[in-house]
């Protein structure tokens, strides 16, 4: 058993219980939290829903008595799918609006943009979307999936369950797809896949002309080996991508696509009939059949006033991060950053699939992995679900990362501790 496995296994049971305060609101002030999601631009298709999700969570928490007897107030800004603007808006939320924590970002480019701001000003960001790993910051909690909680299990499912031998790694041209595909290529080659059986392609944000690329994918998949597309295409480029797959007659039984950034929200803008059978890998689907999920969906429909509004995985990650923050603040008796950072490690809160999520010392959480097939109604039929997996911030498949761990507890407080040398490479990510 590796050092990493021993450490994370020992910590899986860590829990921290608090008693919620349900008294009257203090009249003198409120607790502000920031909402940093794109409401315009190419990422608005995905991020607007997360803004609404935070507002719903704030409303529901205020019905319970708020936090520390104070009413929560959401401060919403629009960084407009502009990565440098994310940093500017984050600084505004922390310095001007004095928010206690921020819930936001979708792309890794936006997260990388704001990371130094949160570290400089010592504030907290809850980041709710799958990402590429290779990072652990004292001031960020990664409530979305690391590669070992999404990308690698998805590849295993296709290889073992579908007999896939040839791989198209198609992504948007920025840090998340690039790093994830670097990890996936190394992982596939470690499993004996030849380099010539891996095709990698990147396109810009908002890319719309997919005819040539899809034709290349079709050709690549016609050379005698079962082929699949692993998609890290992000934002509204997914709409014309899937349309072009249908236009060229690529069906799931021929070349299945497994996506990491396509969920219920994105499918709401598509004619899903030609996409039935294509896959997505997440840690939650709206179709999860649990009492907790049914209550969440009912609350969401009541809040939005629209029974057709779907839920999705980053909403659940937002839900987990929000509830973990509330529990940690109640335990600390304050929203002060350092106190919350001390109390939040080990906090365990319910997820929506019938289990629990624990905040680990590497600032990642435990998550089950779900593989879902697209259905004609835009929902997913869950075809595989794993037990809870601990997010691995540093990949075991990259030579510069395999010996690194993050542990933000005192006295270590290190984001890149090398277990081979026994040294911290620096407290930063």
Question: Among 238, 264, 282, where does a domain finish?
Answer: 282
Regarding whether 157 and 56 lie in a shared domain, the answer is no
Regarding whether 174 and 137 lie in a shared domain, the answer is no
DSSP state of 25: P
List strand residue ranges (DSSP E) for 148-226, in order. 166-172, 198-203
Round to whole Å and give the CA distance between 33 and 62.
13
Q: Tell me if 257 is assigned to some domain.
A: yes
- Provide, for the chain, the percentages of residues in helix, strand and coil under a 3-state DSSP scheme, each rounded to the nearest 5: 40, 20, 40
Round to whole Å and give the CA distance between 328 and 334.
9
b/e per residue 138-154 (b: at least 16 CB within 10 A): bbbbbbbbbbbbbbbbb
Helix (H, G, I), strand (E, B) or coil at 359: strand
Round to whole Å and give the CA distance between 391 and 406.
11
Contact 327, 295 (CB under 8 A): no
Q: Tell me if 255 is assigned to some domain.
A: yes
Regarding whether 252 and 315 lie in a shared domain, the answer is no
Residue with tokens 């290190």: 414
DSSP state of 22: -
Regarding whether 154 and 276 lie in a shared domain, the answer is yes
Beta bridge partners of 172: 203
For residue 427, the model assigns a pLDDT of 63
CATH code, 241: 3.40.50.2300
Regarding whether 236 and 141 lie in a shared domain, the answer is no
Round to whole Å and give the CA distance between 13 and 16.
10
Question: Among 234, 262, 282, where does a domain finish?
Answer: 282
C-beta atoms surrounding 93 within 10 Å: 27
For residue 275, the model assigns a pLDDT of 85
Contact 404, 425 (CB under 8 A): yes
Q: What is the largest CA-CA distance in the chain?
A: 71
Tens-of-pLDDT digits for all 429 residues of the chain?
Answer: 444 444 444 444 443 333 333 334 444 589 999 999 999 998 998 899 999 999 999 999 999 999 999 999 999 999 999 999 999 999 999 999 999 999 999 999 999 999 999 999 999 999 999 999 999 999 999 999 999 999 999 999 999 999 999 999 999 999 999 999 999 999 999 999 999 999 999 999 999 999 999 999 999 999 999 999 999 998 888 889 988 998 999 999 999 999 998 889 888 877 888 789 999 999 999 999 999 999 999 999 999 999 999 999 999 999 999 999 999 999 999 999 999 999 999 999 999 999 999 999 999 999 999 999 999 999 999 999 999 999 999 999 999 999 999 999 999 999 999 999 999 987 655
Round to whole Å and give the CA distance between 427 and 136.
9
Q: Tell me if 21 is assigned to some domain.
A: yes
For residue 428, the model assigns a pLDDT of 56
Six token digits for residue 141: 């909690």
Question: Among 367, 397, 423, where does a domain finish?
Answer: 367
Q: Which of 381, 380, 350 is nearest to 368 (CA)?
A: 350
Round to whole Å and give the CA distance between 171 and 176.
9
Q: Tell me if 424 is assigned to some domain.
A: no
Contact 35, 75 (CB under 8 A): yes
Tally of domains within the chain: 2
Q: Which domain holds residue 109?
A: 12-145+289-367
Six token digits for residue 151: 């990308």
Regarding whether 297 and 258 lie in a shared domain, the answer is no
Q: Tell me if 394 is assigned to some domain.
A: no
Q: Read out DSSP for 65-122? A: T-BTTBEEEEEEE--TT-HHHHHHHHHIIIIIS--S-EEE--SHHHHHHHHHHHHHHT
Regarding whether 109 and 28 lie in a shared domain, the answer is yes
* Angle in degrees, CA 81, 82, 88, rounded to 5: 120
Indicate the pairing of strand 257-259 with strand 414-418.
Answer: unpaired
């Amino acid at each position: 058993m590796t050092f990493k496995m021993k450490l994370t296994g020992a910590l899986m049971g860590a829990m921290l219980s608090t008693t919620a305060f349900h008294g009257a609101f203090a009249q003198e002030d409120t607790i502000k939290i920031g909402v940093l999601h794109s409401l315009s631009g190419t990422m608005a298709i995905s991020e607007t829903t997360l803004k609404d999700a935070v507002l719903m969570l704030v409303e529901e928490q205020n019905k319970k008595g708020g936090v520390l007897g104070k009413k929560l107030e959401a401060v919403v800004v629009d960084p407009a799918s502009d990565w440098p603007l994310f940093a500017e808006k984050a600084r505004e939320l922390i310095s001007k609006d004095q928010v206690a924590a921020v819930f936001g970002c979708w792309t890794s480019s936006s997260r990388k943009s704001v990371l130094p701001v949160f570290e400089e000003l010592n504030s907290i960001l809850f980041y709710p979307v799958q990402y590429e790993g290779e990072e652990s910051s004292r001031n960020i909690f990664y409530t979305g999936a690391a590669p070992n909680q999404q990308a690698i299990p998805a590849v295993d499912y296709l290889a073992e369950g579908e007999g896939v031998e040839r791989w198209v790694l198609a992504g948007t041209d920025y840090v998340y797809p690039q790093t994830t595909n670097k990890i996936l290529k190394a992982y596939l080659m470690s499993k004996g896949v030849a380099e010539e059986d891996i095709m990698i392609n990147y396109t810009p944000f908002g890319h719309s002309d997919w005819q040539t690329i899809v034709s290349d994918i079709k050709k690549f998949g016609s050379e005698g080996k079962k082929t699949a597309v692993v998609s890290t295409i992000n934002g509204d480029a997914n709409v014309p991508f899937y349309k072009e797959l249908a236009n060229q007659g690529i069906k799931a039984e021929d070349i299945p696509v497994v996506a990491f950034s396509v969920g219920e929200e994105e499918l709401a803008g598509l004619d899903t009939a030609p996409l039935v059978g294509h896959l997505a890998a997440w840690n939650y689907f709206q179709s999860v059949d649990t009492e907790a999920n049914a209550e969440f969906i009912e609350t969401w429909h009541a809040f939005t006033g629209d029974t057709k509004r779907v839920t999705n995985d980053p909403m659940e990650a937002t839900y987990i991060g929000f509830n973990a923050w509330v529990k940690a603040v109640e335990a600390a008796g304050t929203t002060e950053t350092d106190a919350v950072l001390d109390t939040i490690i080990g906090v365990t809160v319910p997820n929506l699939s019938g289990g629990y999520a624990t905040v680990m010392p590497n600032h990642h959480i435990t998550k089950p992995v779900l593989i879902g097939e697209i259905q004609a109604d835009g929902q997913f039929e869950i075809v595989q679900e794993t037990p809870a997996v601990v997010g691995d911030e540093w990949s075991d498949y990259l030579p510069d990362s395999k010996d690194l761990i993050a542990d933000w507890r005192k006295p270590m407080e290190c984001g890149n501790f090398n277990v081979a040398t026994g040294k911290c490479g620096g407290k930063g990510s």
